[in-house]
Structure 1
Amino acid sequence: MSLANYTDLVSSIGNWLKRDNLTAVIPDFIALAEARLARDLRVRAMETSASGALSSDTLPLPSDAVEPKSLTVMNGSKPMRVAYVSPDTLSDSQGYSAFPRVFTLIGKNIVMAPAPDSAYSYTLMYYAKLPALAANGTNWLMTNCPDVYLYGSLLQAAPYLKDDARLPVWEQLYKDAFESTEVSDDRSAQFTMRVRTDVRV
């Protein structure tokens, strides 16, 4: 059976469960699997950026952010990486204005120190939430790793299945699919092109 989109996934989960009384809660299983993936998965396909101008020491995280990766602020024409520190360490650099050197997370905000003394341009790299299948039909993870979605969703049926012997099998299949996704991402990130020295232009 094809696993290309949300409709395919709902149908496949129903076939695997072989339980007619769970049809109404299959969308919940998918949503819960996505919540687990949002906590655990960090791959390059989730990376995106937001840019703007700093107007204060507090910068709200984008609404789709699950975790910041880096913050770069322009010092004139030179991009400067702002270092992440703990909230306690940040307090040592607060109380005055200058070029921001450090930042931390407090709630859903990035807080910098020193407070910017000018409207500096910034670029925030962050990991974005997985686009929900129910709203989008498909997404990059469903396209590339449908097994992660399938086994992750099946595991969310555990409270209904209790001592079902299939649960440990699905858990292992999910773990294998998840780890394979991470390994594939690491391999792509480490790929380097072999330099050709025999080409003349």
Structure 2
Amino acid sequence: MPLQSYSDLQASMGRWLKRPDLQGLFPDFITLAEQNFDRKIKTRSRRARYSITPTTNRIALPSDWGRVISAEFDSKPLGFFPASTDARMIAFGYQIKGNSLFLTVPQLGTRLSLEYYVVIEPLSTSNSSNWLLQDAPDIYLWGALAEAADYIRDDTSQQKWLARRDQAISDFIDDDSEAKTPEDQPLNMRAS
């Protein structure tokens, strides 16, 4: 049976675990796995762009933002400064506080462009699929099984599922990187 939906994933977990008593916890295991995916998977599928011409120095970040990759104002790169930095010390940059970006620039009214990673949209009964489940269902299955094995304190199974999850994530990221390189291009070596 293919893993195309939230219910397919839960059904597959049931077959792999052979523990019907845990079925009510499957959503928790999936949620915990998704938290790990959000921290580890940074691929083209997660990238998004947001552009705005701000009229104030405080800009609400997009609802799906997870992490800013780069920011440009008037086509010039903006520097990032931690929230603890005194804004008066910033000549041309930004800070993130909560779900807002605070911009320090000489003059407003020019285009701000953000490239960012979106949060992986969590699976649920109302959201039965997302791009990651469609592109890499094995990552979801191994990740959720690892969380289940941790719950039942089955260290041997947990190590096996973690290894499979991590290998699947690594392969997925490598495949994403390889997709950026033309297939028939020879590599040229240069002497240093």
Task: Tell me the TM-score range normalised by the shorter chain.
Answer: 0.7 to 0.9
- Is 1:72–1:122's contact at 8 Å kept on the other side of the alignment? yes
The residue type equivalent to 1:124 in the other structure is L
**Structure 1 unmatched ranges of 5 or more:** 95-100, 195-201
- Using the alignment, how far apart are the partners of 1:118 and 1:15 within structure 2? 57
AA aligned to 1:137 is S
Counterpart contact for 1:43–1:182, Cα < 8 Å: yes
Instruction: Name the CA shift for 1:104/1:190 in 2 (closer, same or farther; >3 Å).
Output: farther
* TM-score, normalised by the number of residues in structure 2: 0.85
The whole-number CA distance in structure 1 between the counterparts of 2:157 and 2:97 is 42
Once the 2 structures are TM-superposed, how far is the Cα of residue 192 of structure 1 from its aligned partner? Answer: 7.2
Q: Residue 5 of structure 2 corresponds to which residue in structure 1?
A: 5
Q: 1: CA distance between counterparts of 2:183 and 2:158?
A: 40
Tell me which residue corresponds to 1:188.
Answer: 179
Deviation, structure 1 residue 158 = 3.1
User: Which of residues 164, 167, 186 is equivalent to 1:176?
Assistant: 167
Q: Do residues 62 (structure 1) and 62 (structure 2) align?
A: yes
For residue 66 of structure 1, report the CA deviation from its aligned partner.
0.7
Aligned residue number for residue 34 of structure 1? 34
Q: Tell me the percent identity.
A: 28
Q: Secondary structure at the match of 1:137?
A: coil
Residue number in structure 1 paired with 2:118: 128
169-178 or 105-114: bigger deviation: 105-114
Q: What is the aligned-residue RMSD (CA, Å)?
A: 2.1
* Structure 1 segments (4+ residues) deviating >6 Å: none
Higher alpha-carbon deviation: 134-143 or 6-15:
134-143
* CA-CA distance at 1:193 after TM superposition: 7.3
Indicate the residue corresponding to 2:143 in structure 1.
Answer: 152
Q: Per-residue deviation at 1:161?
A: 1.6
Q: How many residues align?
A: 183
Give me the whole-angstrom Cα distance separating, in 2, the residues matched to 1:178 and 1:64: 21
Q: State the distance in 2 between where 1:164 and 1:67 align.
A: 33
**Superposition TM-score, scaled by structure 1 size:** 0.82
Aligned-partner residue type, residue 29 of structure 2: F
**1:146 shift after superposition:** 0.7
Question: Which has more radius of gyration?
Answer: 1
The answer (yes or no) to whether the contact 1:70–1:126 under 8 Å persists in 2 is: yes
Rounded Cα–Cα distance in structure 2 between residues aligned with 1:17 and 1:63: 35
**Worse-superposed segment, 157-166 or 126-135:** 157-166
Structure 1 partner of 2:23: 23
Q: CA deviation at 1:23?
A: 0.7
